[in-house]
Amino acid sequence: MSGRTARRRVLRVSLPGGARPRADLLAAEEPLGIRIGGQAFTLTMRTPGDDIDLAAGFLVGEGVIRSADDLTAIRICSGGECDHDDHDATGNVADVTLSPGASAGQARRRNFLTTSACGVCGKASIDDLATRSPYDLSADRVSVAPALLAQLPDRLRDAQRVFDRTGGLHAAGLFTAGGELMAVREDVGRHNAVDKVVGWALRAGRLPLSGCVLLVSGRASFELVQKAVMAGIPVLAAVSAPSSLAAELAQESGLTLVGFLRGSSMNVYTGAQRLPVG
212-216 and 235-238 as β-strands: parallel, antiparallel, unpaired?
parallel
- Asked about 118 being catalytic, the answer comes back as yes
Q: Please tell me the distance from the alpha carbon of residue 58 to that of residue 23, in angstroms, as a whole number.
A: 34
Q: Which long-range contacts (CB under 8 A, 24 or more apart) does 107-111 make?
A: 107/36, 107/41, 107/59, 107/62, 107/64, 109/39, 109/40, 109/41, 109/42, 110/41, 110/42
Catalytic residue among 82, 118, 121, 212: 118
CA distances from 157 to 12, 21, 133, 192 (A): 26, 29, 30, 17
Q: In terms of Cα–Cα distance, which of 204, 186, 228, 253 is closest to 60? A: 228
Residue 52 phi/psi, 5-degree rounding, is -65, -45
Q: In terms of Cα–Cα distance, which of 212, 180, 188 is closest to 198? A: 212
Q: In terms of Cα–Cα distance, which of 157, 231, 226, 18 is closest to 257? A: 226
Cβ(125)–Cβ(135) under 8 Å? Answer: no
User: Which residues are catalytically annotated?
Assistant: 118
